[in-house]
Structure 1
Amino acid sequence: MGGTSLKKRILTALLISALFLAGCSSASTSETNEKEYKIGVLLSDTGLGDESFNDSAFRGLEKARDELGILFDYREAPDGDFESQLEELSKQDNDLVIGLGFSVQEALEKTAQNHPEQQYLLIDGVSELENVTSITFKEHEGSFLVGMVAAMTSKNQKLGIIGGADVPVIHRFEKGFEQGAKYINPDISISKEYANNFGDAALGKKIAENQIKDGVDFIYPAAGFTGVGAIQAAQEKHIFTAGVDSDQYFVAEKAVVTSMMKNIDVAVFNMAEKLVKDGSIGTEVYELGLAEDGVGLAAIRNFTLSNEQKSAIESAKEKLTSGKITINLN
């Protein structure tokens, strides 16, 4: 119940912000650009208010609206009917249609084949279609750093990770976190569980509570809004946790030590900027990691790292970027 009301408050704030600023941007756009570029976006399953993946993309579009003068519209598909929403966006004369998340890939590719002249952007998946540009992230690199921090903060040397689904993108979070923790302590224990749901905060809280009963004192939830419940449970039980995708410190200000920043907002803004500049975003496949500012760590809070620990994290960043540290994703 608490998780649902929290999501509603966040969604309301996002929509009020979007409506208030829309009028401010439209007037300036016509004065500065000959063409008003339009972007349509289909959000992933959990929609706005997830405090994570979707909200980050939405921030990127708001920035593109305010700074570049683009117009944007969005759709949600909580029932999983991605194809009809994408079809609707494709018929609206948008210069670019964005699909968020691995779960929309099949529907996006079907729609792209039906509209070969339309430009599409797929985030968190790779498509071979000529009119689809793909962006993926090296979540394992940022998660490696979170694993290091978790091992440094843990008293019990028992960590937990909660995945939203048993899929490759979540495996990258998992593998990076585990290997980062073991980089600090090879004998550390890590509990893993898949929620098979990205939108159930109550379920995330329940899973986290079970892990905490087993002695886990740091939880890393890569599970969208389900993870919000796990973060809240960590605070209630007085253990540490980390956010994902966005800086989730405000969700539990006494428990969140850092967040694995997956800079979807930056990627979306950069694509909008390329669209305005070139009239097209091309057909490249982008893979964004530490070197490309695609992932990284939020500020460290609630725990003071020693100078030695800070140096170890900075050294790991350099080694991950240069390839001296490689993460096994198998």
Structure 2
Amino acid sequence: MKKLSALIAAIMMAFMLAGCSLFSEEQPQGTQFDAKIGILLSDTGLGDGSFNDAAFQGLERARTDLNIVFDYREAPEGNYEEMLNELVEQDMTLIIGLGFSVQEAIEKVALENPEQQFLLIDGYSEVANVVSVTFKEQEGSFLVGVVAALTSESGVIGFIGGVDAPVIHRFEQGYIAGAKFANPTITVLSNYAGDFGDTALGGNIAQQQIDQNADFIYPAAGYTGVGAILKAQEHGVFAAGVDSDQFFIAEEAVVTSMLKKIDVVVYDLVSSLVQGNIDEAAFELGLAEDGVGLAEIRLAQLDATGQALLQDVQKKIISGEIVVPETKE
């Protein structure tokens, strides 16, 4: 995959504030596009500073660089099929579904519309007209675990998952494995919120972990995780962001973030589609493919030994010498 490029998030916000449409009314009459892209965002929608925003930025970049137009839908009520069918009716070249929660709906709609090409991000489908993209979240989370263990003074760190699902298990298990690799005596507290959209709940769970001496908290929980990060900042403890660089959320707490390079994936696949076809039916992206990674480390300084350890484990994961667990034992 192509290396991550710097994207300007302010473009998206300015566009949203201006109330502009993303589709044809903004284009000159008769404009011809190489591709028309539709996207159904995951539950938390735009403005999450993470998963959805990253995918949106990838499409914005594609719109700037390539001859494409795109439209999007949000489904906070869980009406995925309805939103997908609205996009199908617009005769899209490609329709993207974000998140494992949309998989059942996208497969149903794909089977009903076999000529329509779909892309499922964060799930694996065997339906013929659905291309699947999954990430090795455990590999990027392993690096976060190493950083957490090296910066923790209490010897206790925390993980907060959004829902009890395989994709979140990968975050959790990678984080635990990395932390214990760096410090075998580290204690890792782990809680599941059961919700991606409750900032107050995230703050409450973080408070419980802080009360148990956790001084580094890693949430993989959408808006719920934002609440946890803000609570960490309130108490002067460290945190890690997820999916995108979330340093801006809490600049006194976020040491680093596990990058899930959805923006790059979306851009590259749209680019491939414009140039020809997406030949592969499924992509699984980890450190070796530059699909996941670690944001800049701020606030906490790793000593030379810690920096060397972090670089060494990354090389060993890429080479296969370290195989990071992705499921609970």
What secondary structure does 1:19 align onto? coil
Task: Check the 8 A contact 1:151/1:184 in 2, yes or no.
Answer: yes
Alignment of 1:1-330 (within 5 A): 13=14, 15-16=16-17, 19=20, 35-278=33-276, 280-330=277-327
Q: Within 1, Cα distance between the matches of 2:16 and 2:78?
A: 22
Greater share of residues in helix: 1
Q: Hey, what's the Cα distance between the residues in 2 that align with 1:134 and 1:201?
A: 30
Unaligned ranges ≥5, structure 1: 1-8
* Distance apart, 1:200 and its partner CA: 1.1
Q: CA deviation at 1:53?
A: 0.5
Give the Cα separation in 1 of the matches to 2:270 and 2:247.
28
The AA in structure 2 aligned to 1:328 is: P
Question: Structure 2: how far apart are the matches of 1:283 and 1:301?
Answer: 38
Q: TM-score, normalised by structure 2?
A: 0.92
CA distance in 2, matches of 1:75, 1:293: 28
Q: Distance in 1 between matches of 2:37 and 2:184?
A: 47
Is the 2:33–2:68 contact (alpha carbons within 8 Å) kept by the matching residues of 1?
no
User: Kindly tell me: are residues 206 and 13 of structure 1, through their superposed partners in 2, closer, same or farther at Cα, counting changes over 3 Å?
Assistant: farther
User: What is the one-letter code of the residue matched to 2:64?
Assistant: D
SS in 1 for 2:288: coil
Task: Provide the residue aligned with 1:4 in structure 2.
Answer: none
- Mapped contact 2:241–2:247 kept (Cα < 8 A): yes
Cα distance in structure 1, aligned partners of 2:175 and 2:295: 15
| Equivalent position SS for 1:196 | coil
Paired position in structure 2 for 1:5? none
Structure 1 vs Structure 2 CA RMSD: 2.1
2:65 alignment partner, SS class: helix
Offset of residue 311 of structure 1: 1.0
Distance 1:254 1:277, change over 3 A: same
SS in 1 for 2:116: coil
Q: Quick check: 2:12–2:57 contact (8 Å CA) kept in 1?
A: no
Report how far residue 70 of structure 1 moved. Answer: 1.1
Q: Distance in 2 between matches of 1:214 and 1:320?
A: 31
Report the count of equivalent residues: 316
1:204 alignment partner, SS class: helix
Runs of 4+ aligned structure 1 residues displaced above 4 Å come to: 9-14, 20-23
**Residues 283 and 112 from structure 1, CA distance in 2 versus in 1: closer, same or farther, beyond 3 angstroms?**
farther
Structure 2 unaligned segments of length 5 or more: list them.
1-9
TM-score, length of structure 1 as denominator length: 0.91
Q: What residue identity is the alignment partner of 2:286?
A: G
- CA deviations 1:267-305 (Å, max 9, x no partner) are 000111011100x32352100001111000000000111
